[in-house]
Amino acid sequence: MKRILKKVLLILLLLGEFSYSQSGASMQVKCDGSIDGTIGSEFTISIDVNNVTNFLGASFNLTYNSTYLDYVTATAGSWIGNSSDLIFFPAADEVTGIVSVGITRKGTIGAINGTGNIVSIKFRVTSLPGQTTTLPFTLSAVNAIDPNGGSIPLAQINDSTQLIIQGDYILTITSANGTVTKNPDQVSYTSGSAVILTATPNQGYMFSGWGGDANGTINPLTVTMDGNKNIIANFTIIPILPTINVSNALINFGEVSINTISAEKSYNVTGINLAATVVISAPNGFQISRSSNQGFTTSLILAPNAGVVNETIFVRFLPNETKNYNASIENISTGATAQNVEVRGTGILPPRPTVNVNNTSLIFGDVLVNTNSSPKSYILSGSNLSSNITIEAPSSFQISNNETFGFGSSITLNPTNGTVSNTLIWVRFSPAAAQSYSGNVINTSSGAITKNVSVSGTGGNKVTTSSNPDNGGTTSGGGIYNTGKNIAVKATSNKGFKFINWTENAFPVSTDSSYQFTMPNNSRALVANFSDGKGNRSPIFLKSMPDTTIYVHNVQVLFKYEYKAVDPDGDVVNFKLDSGPDGATLSNIGLFTWIPKTTQAGMQYLLKISISDGTLTQTIITTIKTFSTIVGIEEYGFIFPSKFDLKQNYPNPFNPMTKINYQLARDGLVTLIIYDLLGREVVELINEFKTAGYYKVDFDASILSSGVYICSIKANDFSKSIKLILTK
């Protein structure tokens, strides 16, 4: 039997005694205690004599079990003498298992008496029996040698000295259609060892139980070695059964507002060996479909093709209560184990609609009556909206989502997916009277907290002061003032000049250089007149361009204005353009012309015009601005109409675009304004100087509500209105 060398054995020597008569002398085999070792370990047997008299030596045979032991060596004991003083003949027959020993002291030394070790014999363990085995050691042919060289046979008294070897147990495993692993993995085990057996089936098989020296279906199985064991692992073919599998065991939708639909999620269901349809059922609050974005329901039936199903199932969450939803989508087919997909979600209250503004106050200051201020803006946004945002302006204020046109009393913004992104809202102040104005631009949407932007400004009439001539002196006190306010203007003459009087429209109003008056409900243009003492008077402006903002067009459109002036002394008046926009000209007789370029849109220029009689000069400075938006207005050729007219728009009714045509028989300032039926200005389309010709305006009413509107034109002494019908 093949044995593993690294095995621990326990060797116990049970002491026994063999006695031979020589005046009570005896011989025995001895070993102290017990020996633990492995295959290849060695141990020693001591051969001792007791109570000998006149003892010179001995001979004997020691029989051992050569199946498990090998003889190694024999050594003379120190009690009988040094090796040089001995005659020592050990010999071993490993086939029969007998060690024969002859030992004697040399006659020159003499005999000894008493008790001591005469021989030590060493053995080696060569194999293990697999179980506890008793191996006896037997002494025979024992003879004492006396000093005369004679042998004295000694009778054996007992025969009980023996070696006990604790052996290992063998574990044998038998399996087919699968494998079994042992832990620890050894051929044999010591008594009481625990071994863990794990059965693993081959593909298409399953473990069905243990046999032999074990039983049951526990896997892994722990075996305690208390003897040799033969254990069988049984494997059987897995039966072909209908099977359903799902790719996801859990789908979590998180938080979803009640009465809304979540984003879709999906899982894959597969089936093999199916003999019936697969029925899929969704729990309350969830819906399923075989297609994305359509066909959602609470139950689906999948028909197998040759016993096979492979389908993607789309799932969505539709909570109608504020609670946690936790249930399962069932996937069932006859004969197959049902597969569930757990679905979770939480129904929450929808987020509240929100309207936000980045600025809560716009202050316009003093603005000239019957003019429009420069627009100011704020940013409006909204989220989670279920309806439009409505913006309404208070009286004398107008709003638009464009900086240059489309101003009116209200705006409607349509959200996209419940959101209005940051949108600039422009506000302008248009006072009708010289007084203080204040109010709120109201921004509201259903369910949202209303956000107000406070607006304020003061309407006033303008007082302008100028010197005649320009170098005659300086003036102060001009500005915009409310009606009824006490005003004081002052004229201070330069060296060499003397103040004469204040005039308005060439009519004297005061000879006091500090002129005080109560502000009327109109503007005043006062001229402080100075004399150089030579009797020459400065020319004066009769007509000058006010501060003006004009449009830049997508085609070349000429802007022109005619200045008028007179010299009180009848001298010739010369006009000069001191500064202005690139491309502008001024003729000697006062005709200002300019064709704005598209690159000049959104600019501001100081227009400085001087008049002179050759000696004295007067200057007027005007601000001329251009809107930043380039307006698409088409001009019809160079044939001038014979009369003014405003044509009916087309189409009419319209949504949201319509065309408005008008014609001008002469140059002049033109306003084209849209009003609602209450007479409130909604959109100012045109407010600028135009040359004679034919014009067309494309009117976009996207921001307006359905209804009837009035379009009015004013040009020179011509005015006309038409009715526009917006249908959405």
Beta strands 309-317 and 286-289 are antiparallel
549 and 516 share a domain? Answer: no
Element (H, E) at 670: strand 668-676
> Rounded distance, CA 649 to CA 636, Å?
17
Q: 261 lies in a domain? A: yes
Backbone angles phi, psi at 471, to 5 degrees: -95, 10
| Closest listed residue to residue 396, CA positions, set 322, 469, 472, 459 | 459
Q: Label residue 546 by pLDDT band (50, 70, 90).
A: confident
- Count of domains observed in the chain: 6
Please name the residue that has the structure tokens 């809202």: 425
Backbone angles phi, psi at 646, to 5 degrees: -125, 120
Residue 537 has pLDDT above 60, yes or no: yes
**Has residue 13 got a pLDDT over 50?**
no
CA–CA distance, 561 with 582 (Å, rounded to integer): 16
Type of residue numbered 689: F
- Helix (H) or strand (E) run with residue 203 in it: none
Distance between CA atoms of residues 325 and 341, nearest Å: 14
Q: Is residue 86 part of a domain?
A: yes
Q: Are residues 412 and 518 in the same domain?
A: yes
Do 211 and 283 share a domain, yes or no?
no
Domain end position, chosen among 162, 188, 217: 162
* Of 27-41, 121-135, 175-189, 273-287, highest mean pLDDT: 273-287
Residues whose CB is less than 8 angstroms from the CB of residue 633 and which lie 6 or more positions away in sequence, other chains included: 551, 553, 554, 555, 557, 695, 696, 697, 698
> Is 467 found in the same domain as 560?
no
**Could you say which of 346, 363, 386 is where a domain stops?**
346
Task: Report which of residues 160 and 644 the model is more confident about.
Answer: 644
Q: What percent of the chain has pLDDT over 70?
A: 89
The answer to whether residues 112 and 218 belong to one domain is no
Beta bridge partners of 73: 122
Average confidence (pLDDT) over 671-689: 88
Answer yes or no: do 393 and 502 share one domain.
yes
Average pLDDT over residues 483-498: 90
The chain-wide mean pLDDT, for the chain, equals 85
What does pTM read for this prediction?
Answer: 0.39
The CA-based dihedral angle spanning residues 210, 213, 215, 221, taken in that order and rounded to the nearest 10 degrees: -70
Tell me which residue has tokens 């405003």: 646
83 three-class SS: helix
CA neighbor of 561 nearest in space, from 579, 580, 581, 543 = 543
Residues 412 and 491 in one domain: yes
Indicate whether 119 and 199 sit together in one domain: no
Give me the pLDDT at residue 494, please: 92
Distance CA 144, CA 81 (A): 16
* Domain harbouring 61, CATH code: 2.60.40.680
The answer to whether residue 16 sits within a structural domain is no
Residue type, position 198, single letter: T
pLDDT interval class at 622 (50, 70, 90): confident
User: Could you give the percent of the chain with pLDDT greater than 90?
Assistant: 48
Q: Is the peptide bond before 319 cis (omega within 30 degrees of 0)?
A: no
How high is the pLDDT of residue 640? 63
Q: Which of 25-29, 203-207, 716-720 has the lowest mean pLDDT?
A: 25-29
**Count of positions (residues) in the chain:** 728
Q: Which residues contact 164 (CB under 8 A, 6 or more apart)?
A: 11, 12, 14, 132, 133, 134, 135
Asked if the structure places residue 18 within a domain, the reply is: no
Q: In this predicted model, which residue has the larger pLDDT, 251 or 561?
A: 251
pLDDT-derived band at 5, boundaries 50, 70, 90: very low
Give the residue, 470 or 533, on which the prediction is more confident.
470
N-term to C-term CA, the chain: 105
Q: Is the residue at 280 inside a domain?
A: yes
d(Cα 622, Cα 605) in Å, to the nearest integer?
8
pLDDT digits (tens, 9 = 90+) for 331-368: 999 999 999 999 999 999 888 899 999 999 999 998 88
Q: Inform me whether the pLDDT recorded for 240 exceeds 90.
A: no
Report pLDDT for 631: 65
pLDDT in tens, 31-46: 543 444 467 778 888 8
What mean pLDDT do residues 515-533 have? 86
Banded model confidence at residue 158, pLDDT cuts 50, 70, 90: very low
Residue closest to 393 by CA, chosen among 352, 440, 445? 440
For the cut 90, the answer to whether the pLDDT of residue 533 exceeds it is no
Boundaries of domain holding 546: 538-626
- Residue 241 confidence (pLDDT): 85
> Could you tell me the CATH number of the domain that includes residue 690?
2.60.40.1930
For residues 426 and 399, the answer to whether their CB atoms sit within 8 Å is yes
CB 278 within 8 A of CB 269: yes
Lowest mean pLDDT across 139-148, 368-377, 424-433, 491-500: 139-148
Interval 234-238 mean pLDDT: 92
Dihedral class, residue 427 (left if φ above 0, else alpha if ψ from -120 to 50, else beta): beta
Same domain flag for 120 and 219? no
Express each pLDDT in 565-596 by its tens digit: 888 877 899 999 999 999 999 998 899 999 89
Average pLDDT over residues 45-66: 85
Any domain includes 636: no
pLDDT for position 532: 77
Lowest mean pLDDT of 37-41, 265-269, 485-489, 505-509, name the range: 37-41
Asked if 457 and 581 sit in the same domain, the reply is no
**DSSP-assigned letters across all residues of 213-228:** T--S--SSEEEE-SS-
Specify the range with the lowest mean pLDDT, choosing from 24-33, 183-192, 489-498, 563-572: 24-33
Domain match, 31 and 88 both: yes
| Res. 657: pLDDT tops 50 | yes
| Domain membership flag for residue 74 | yes
302 and 257 housed in the same domain: yes
CB-CB contact of 88 with 100 (8 Å): no
CATH of the domain at 466: 2.60.40.10
* Residue 647 within a domain: yes
Last residue of a domain, one of 143, 162, 181: 162
In angstroms, what is the C-alpha Rg of the chain? Answer: 62
Mean pLDDT calculated for residue range 661-676: 89
- Coil, helix or strand for 557? coil
pLDDT digits (tens, 9 = 90+) for 254-307: 999 999 999 999 999 999 999 999 999 999 999 999 999 999 999 999 999 999
Question: pLDDT, tens digit, for every residue of 438-451?
Answer: 999 999 999 999 99
Q: Is the pLDDT of residue 610 over 60?
A: yes
Q: Encoding tokens for residue 295? A: 């066909």
CA separation for the pair 578, 611 (Å, rounded): 10
